[in-house]
């Protein structure tokens, strides 16, 4: 099992300094990403999911910083690498796709320049012509018209730019892609097209993708496994079917039930009371307890640990699934 792990986050802590004090945006977070899977990471704004993605690439900038933890990638703890070694891994072994691709594309370079540079970064022996030919091929494969290869990034629409980002990742032959809200800025039809494209590519190139998003629907369509994050902590992680159909953590349940589903008639939306806590002063015990319908004294007093709840793959951080006498119950277990 563990031999298939591509990236392993162990006890990662990331803190931001604010005017009001330190904020643990990611708190003692551990998660494994298996080779070849699409792992969806969902949560509401401020839960620390984007910080986690940046932390995995060590690109957190002041006032934030990684306080501690280990980041094992291909047998190396990235935390022990120098900044120079790390920048060799970023963009080469770990590709990145952001919500706004313009931040990672050079506005003064044409698309073909971007791609040939990426190809030749790995295969120095490839001639300029050969690299161009390969780039043209890739662009065609991603549904971009080949005659637009000499255009500049700003001449493309948002959806096309996201495709270019994917082309870059493929050109670099990255073994892991971290996609942070890749479809959030896209319209629904373009989003659906992009998801179809990713689904096709991951089979062909055996891509491993960490898909960070707040859009539950996107995760349901694309991910193999889903991790739900709440207030800097991992709430639940499970294969996608098991997570959607046998949701265990009370927060995940509330979250999934509050998403409108166009296919279901007369669906009553779940109204989760309260708001996510501010992490300057997180609640004691389980961070979800002030909003949890099942919370008991134990939840406010002690913090639960990630436990296996059903099958080997389905784990949740909730007292309901412990064997304590004073545990809460949801009436199901």
Partner 1 sequence: MTDEKALVRLEHVEKFFPVPRGLIASLRDRGEKPAVRAVDDVSFEIKRGEVLGLAGESGSGKSTVGRLVLRLLDPTAGRVFFDGVDLATLKPEEMRKTRSRMQVVFQDPLASLNPRMSVGRAVEHPAQIHMPDLTQQQRREAVYEIFGAVGLDPPKYFYDKYPHQISGGQRQRIVMARALITRPDLIVADEPIAMADVSVQALLLDLMMRLKEEFDLTYLFITHDLATTKYLCDRLAVMYLGKIVEVGNLREVFTNPQHPYTRALLSAVPVPDPRHRRTEPLPQGEIPNPINPPAGCHFHPRCPIAQKGICDVEAPELLPFHDDDAHLVSCHLRTGAYQDLDPDRQIA
Partner 2 sequence: MPDPVLLDAPPEEQWQIDLERVGLLRRLLNGRKWYGVDWWMVVISSIMVVFFIVIAFFPGLLAPHDPLEQVGPRFLPPGDKPDAEVLLLRVDSPIESLADLAGQGRVPTAVVQGAPSSEDIRSEAERITQELAATGSDDRIRFRILRLETLEEVLAAIQAGDVELGAGSSQQLEPLMDAYPDVVIAGPISGEKGGKTFLLGTNQIGQDVLSRLSWGARIALIIGFTASIFSLVLGVPLGLFAGFTGGKIDRGLTLVMDSLYAFPGLILAIAIAAVLGPSIVNVIVAIAVLYIPTYYRIVRGQTLSTKESLHVEAATSIGATKTSILRRYIFPLVIPSVAIIFSVNIADAILTGAALSFLGLGLPPTTPDWGIDLARGQEFIQRAWWLITFPGIAVMLVVLAFTMLGEGLTEIFNPKLRKQ
Interacting residues with partner 1 (CB under 8 A): 44-45, 157, 159-160, 187-193, 195-196, 214-218, 220-221, 240-241, 244-245, 254-256, 258-263, 267, 269-272, 275-276
24 binds, among partner 2, partner 1, none (CB under 5 to 8 A by kind): none
**Residue 297 interaction partner, one of partner 2, partner 1, none, beta carbon < 5-8 Å per kind:** partner 2
Residues 6+ apart with CB under 8 A from 329: 294, 320
Q: Quick check: 296 binds partner 2 (CB under 8 A)?
A: yes
Residues in the chain, total:
333
Q: Which helix (H) or strand (E) holds 160?
A: helix 158-172
Nearest residue (CB) to partner 1, 75 versus 260: 260
327 three-class SS:
coil
Q: Which is nearer to partner 1, 20 or 332 (CB)?
A: 20
Contact partner, 21, from partner 2, partner 1, none, Cβ < 5-8 Å per class: partner 2
- Phi, psi angle pair for 257, to nearest 5°: -75, -15
Nearest of 225, 252, 270 to residue 317 by alpha carbon: 252
Element (H, E) at 31: strand 21-34
Partner from partner 2, partner 1, none contacting 218, C-beta within 5 to 8 A by type = partner 1
**DSSP element (H, E) containing 163:** helix 158-172
Nearer CB in complex with partner 2: 133/280: 280
**In the chain, count of helices (H) and strands (E)?**
10, 12
End-to-end CA distance of the chain: 28
Size of the site for partner 2 (CB under 8 A): 19
Indicate the residue among 16 and 29 with the shorter CB distance to partner 2.
16
Q: What span, in angstroms and rounded, lies between the C-alpha atoms of 201 and 211?
A: 14
Query: By three-state DSSP, how is residue 169 classified?
Result: helix
Contact partner at residue 157 from partner 1, partner 2, none, CB < 5 to 8 Å by partner kind: partner 1
Tell me phi and psi for residue 36, to 5 degrees.
Answer: 85, 5
Residue from 4, 11, 63, 155 in contact with partner 2 (CB under 8 A)? 63
Q: Which does 195 bind (CB under 5 to 8 A by kind): partner 1, partner 2, none?
A: partner 1
Residues forming the site for partner 2 (CB under 8 A)? 17-21, 62-63, 274-275, 277-278, 280-281, 289-290, 295-297, 300
């Amino acid at each position: 099992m563990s031999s298939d792990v591509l990236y392993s986050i162990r006890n990662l802590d990331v803190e931001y300094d604010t005017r009001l004090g330190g904020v643990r945006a990611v708190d003692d977070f551990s998660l494994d990403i298996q080779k070849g899977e699409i792992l969806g990471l969902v949560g509401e704004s401020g839960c620390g999911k984007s910080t986690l993605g940046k932390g995995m690439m060590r690109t957190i900038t002041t006032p934030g910083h990684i306080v501690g933890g280990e980041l094992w990638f291909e047998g190396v703890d990235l935390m022990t690498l120098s900044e120079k070694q790390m920048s060799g891994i970023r963009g080469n072994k770990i590709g990145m796709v952001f919500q706004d691709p313009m931040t990672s594309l050079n506005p003064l370079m044409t698309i073909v320049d971007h791609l040939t540079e990426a190809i030749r970064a790995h295969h120095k022996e490839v001639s300029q012509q050969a690299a161009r030919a390969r780039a043209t091929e890739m662009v065609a494969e991603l549904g971009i018209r080949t005659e637009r290869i000499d255009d500049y990034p700003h001449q493309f629409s948002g959806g096309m730019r996201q495709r270019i980002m994917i082309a870059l990742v493929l050109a670099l032959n990255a073994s892991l892609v971290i996609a942070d809200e890749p479809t959030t800025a896209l319209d629904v039809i373009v989003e659906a097209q992009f998801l179809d494209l990713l689904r096709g590519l991951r089979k062909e190139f055996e891509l491993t993708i960490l898909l960070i998003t707040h859009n539950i629907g996107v995760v349901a369509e694309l991910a193999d496994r889903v991790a739900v994050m709440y207030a800097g902590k991992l709430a639940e992680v499970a294969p996608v079917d098991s997570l959607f159909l046998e949701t265990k953590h009370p927060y995940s349940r509330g979250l999934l039930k509050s998403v409108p589903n166009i296919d279901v008639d007369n669906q009553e939306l779940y109204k989760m009371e309260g708001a996510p806590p501010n992490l300057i002063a997180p609640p004691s015990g389980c961070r979800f307890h002030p909003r949890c319908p099942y919370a008991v004294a134990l939840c406010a007093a002690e913090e639960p640990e990630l436990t296996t709840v059903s099958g080997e793959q389905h784990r949740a951080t909730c007292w309901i699934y412990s064997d304590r006498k004073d545990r809460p119950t949801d009436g199901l277990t």
